Every structure is written in structure tokens, then in C-alpha cells.
Amino acid sequence: MQKIIILDFGSQTTQLIGRRLRELDTFCEILPYNKFPKDDPSVIGVILSGSPYSVHDPEAFQVDLSQFVGKVPVLGICYGAQYISHKNGGKVEQTGTREYGRANLATVDTENPLFRNFDKNSQVWMSHGDTITAIPADCKIIASTSDVKFAAYASTSQPLWAVQFHPEVFHSLQGKTLLKNFVVDICGSKQEWSPASYVETTIKELKEQLGNDRVILGLSGGVDSSVCATLLNRAIGKNLTCIFVDHGMLRKDEFTKVMEAYEGLGLNVIGIDASEKFFTDLAGVTDPEQKRKIIGRDFVEVFNAEAKKITDAKWLAQGTIYPDRIESLSITGMVIKSHHNVGGLPEEMDLKLCEPLQWLFKDEVRRVGYELGMPEHLIKRHPFPGPGLAVRILGDVTPEKVRILQDADDIYIESMRNYVCEDGEVLYDKVWQAGTVLLSTIRSVGVMGDERTYEHPVALRAVTSTDAMSADWAQLPYDFMAKVSNEIINKVKGVNRVCYDISSKPPATIEWE
């Protein structure tokens, strides 16, 4: 299959470049700046990302441009554009001020294939401290802003383009047009990447990879593991055994509902109720990180004990997706965040790893789920933390506190699913993630009837996002919030106050712990 290679120099928006290319039905692979694949005939183009470094920094990332320049079309973005100029006789200098934010292209060469169909004064997004003050001798300017002379340039002798702005971000209003011009018109993408083609190709590859081997998959109830299981079921049927562990801190009735959904999909699922073990081991523990470690350890123990009963299993399947792999891959010596699906298998399991979703972004996983005919309520499920409600209970975790939180959260989430906004869209579908937090270390005074109460407050959380790397608090309708607050206080014993979290990420995180 044709693919574009995106060489990552550490930019926060590298993943966004990949998302934009996938939206153009073009397969792409994001690799560290120094891992360009040699002699790969499927590569039809290369994009160099931005970077937190200046090209003049001693620790700045270096790449041998001769590996691909002149062999396939190349597009440099921000740092990529500056690096190309710097290495080919141009000049990059510090301006003393950071060029950041919206800008408009004062001049643009619409005859150049990169800017075909561009409007005059098209808005772009700048984000750099250095700027290009001279370009290589064989290059020409193809776009400028009032402040940035070399906003974009192109080689006159080889298929090479560079832009100092970020076409991948939303604020570059015609960024997708530019990327389409590069990927489709210049690189010649046949735009064959689609959920249907992915499903067909992946099922065929899984059959070849796994043959008649037995495979074990740990299900969580989330969209990634559910889509992974459905794909594997299509490929190998009953040779797949799924294990769903209930640690006692799932949403209300979730274990039963999810098991029913999986059985409806024809999956071979073993459900394990291990809640007693988890509650026993968590007794008295208040530190958030310690709670996570205990739950992670117990999960592995329970899962491994069940998996060992399947003595002829040769593979462990995981719902690892592309952002998990990228975030767990360090090019600066610092991992953005580690993921439980990335980093190897317990040695005693002696199983090979199968990750059929490893090239997909979250939105693509959902598109594949639709293509597979999965029920919408599984595909549209909000992300839910692996440790479950344990990290939404401040303080120690007890069955009674979980019961309180489950009841309050159930009212909140179900109300969100039943609320239709003025635009006709269901409120739940407008929100990336929502959940309830029990402030069990706090009690607040209230009045119910003629009696004084002294019970716990809960905090409602809802955010909008595209990838969870950053998030805004969702501005929920007042009438919805009033109804939910009233219902929680009236129906959930142990709660007498409802708050709403209006913190964005950063500086806050989506989860409280």
C-alpha cells in the first residue's frame, strides 16, 4: 500500500499531520526523525514535522536529507522548512520575537501545485522563534505574509517544498487543501485508505499471521478492545478467547451490559468477577498512584491466572492504537506518557503479541467499528480510566463509596444520552469524555426537608477534545445541569451537593487522580 512517511522532530502537532493525511484516505506512518526506512518502494512522499528546537541548538535533531530529497516529493513544515534551508545554503536567524498565531498570506503563487486553489489572504498559523532570512540558491518564494518573507518556498530543480506555517492545524483555514495538493496531486496518492479497505486487508493479514493458533484478548469494555476483538473474531472465530475482568469499580451495571453486548457480537468471552480481591487490596489506600499500582498488579494477576488455563494459546492480542505507540516512543529521552498496552508482555506468559489496531487513530477505530457493523453504543462510548471509579473517588475506596458514585454517575451519563440539543445532536455525542467524581474526603452541610444533612459533594466533569492531549471544559446547557443536580441530590443517598469542574487541560488533567 502507498504511504507517506512523516518524520517526527518532536512537534506537538505531528500526530495532527497524520490525522489530516488519513482524512485524505492516504496511509501514513509517523517515525522518529532518524528512522527513515531504506529501500521501501511503497513510500510516495516525505513530510518533515516541526520541532521544539532551533536548527542552531547543539541538541537539535539532524537527518540526512539525501535519503529522500530528489527521490520522492518532500514537504518541510516549520522546523522542517528551516532545516532544509539551513542544510542547503540558506540562512535561518533568531528574530528576537516569536512569530506565533494567525497570519495571512499577503502573496501566494497559486500557479505552484502546492498552492493550487488557494484564496488571496488565506489565513495560516505561525509558531516559530527563528525565521528563514535566505533560501537555497535553487529555490524560489511561493508565499509570504506581511511579516514573514519566506512563508513558503519551493525548489526549482527537484520535488521539494517548505512552509514556515502549520497547515495541519485548524487555524490554517486552507491547510487541508495544501496537504491534499501535496499528497494527492504531487505525490500521487490513490486515496485507497478507508475503513472498508482496512477491514478487508487486516482480516486477510490476521488469517495469515495467526493461522489456526489460539489467541487471548483482554477486554475492557472500551471501543479499542471491542473493535480489536470484533476484527479478530471475523478472522479466526472461536480460536479467540476474550477475558473481561470486573474489578468492582466499573460503571453501574456495566459488567452485565457489556457482557451481553459482547455475546451479541458472537464473541467467546470469559467474565471474571474479581471485585472482592480488588476491594480487599485497596482497603485504606488513599494515594492515587498507589491505587493505580495495586489495581494494575491485581489485574495482571487475575488475567494471567485465567489465561494460563488456555494451555494451547500462542498469542496475546491488545487494542493498542497509534497514539499509544507514538506517546510511548521517546525521541527526546522523555516519554510523553506510558501506556499499559505498550512495553512488552509478562515473561511467564510466553505469548507472541498481536496488535491489529496499531496504525489507527481513535476516530479511525470508530470508523472501523461502524464498518464492522458493531452496535453504536459500543462505538461511541466515552473513554474510561483503566482503574475505573477508583481514581474518581478522592480518598480510600470502599464498596459503599463505589455504590454512591455509580448511582450519581449513572444519572449524569444517562441524562446526557437522553438530552437532545437545539441542533438536534445528542449531548453525549458532543462531549469527548464525561464522568462524576466523589469528594469522599469532604462533607458539606445541606438541608433536606426540615433536617440538616452532612454528606458528600460530587463534581461533574465533561470535556471536549480531539485526542485527549488537550481538552476544554464543556459548556453544558443550564437546564440540563439543573435537572441532573436535582436528580442526583434527590435520588442518591450520601450526596447533598453537586459541583461542576470548569478546568481545562492543561493545566488540569481530565481525571482528578
Cis amide leading into 167 (omega within 30): no
Q: Which is catalytic among the residues 78, 187, 228, 354? A: 78
Residue partners of 509: CB distance under 8 A and separation at least 6: none
Q: What is the rounded CA–CA span in Å between residue 331 and residue 117?
A: 36
Helix, strand or coil for residue 233? helix
79-92 b/e (C-beta count within 10 Å ≥ 16 → b): bbbbbbbbbbebeb
Contact predicate 324/342, CB 8 Å: yes
Instruction: Write the CA distances from 224 to 231, 318, 359, 363, 426, integer angstroms.
Output: 11, 9, 12, 10, 22
Q: Which of 17, 9, 103, 2 is closest to 361 using CA atoms?
A: 17
Q: What share of the chain is helix, strand, coil (3-state, %, to 5)?
A: 35, 25, 40
Residue partners of 293: CB distance under 8 A and separation at least 6: none
Q: Which is catalytic among the residues 86, 128, 166, 339? A: 166
Angle between helices 223-236 and 362-371 (to 10 degrees): 40
Q: Residue 74: what residue type? A: V
- DSSP structure class, residue 100: E
Residue partners of 169: CB distance under 8 A and separation at least 6: 13, 16, 125, 175
Q: Residue 380: what residue type? A: K
Q: What is the rounded CA–CA span in Å between residue 132 and residue 485?
A: 55
Residue 78 annotated among the catalytic residues of the structure: yes
Residue 168 annotated among the catalytic residues of the structure: yes
Q: Which is catalytic among the residues 29, 168, 364, 455? A: 168
Residue 171 annotated among the catalytic residues of the structure: no
Residues acting as catalytic residues: 78, 166, 168
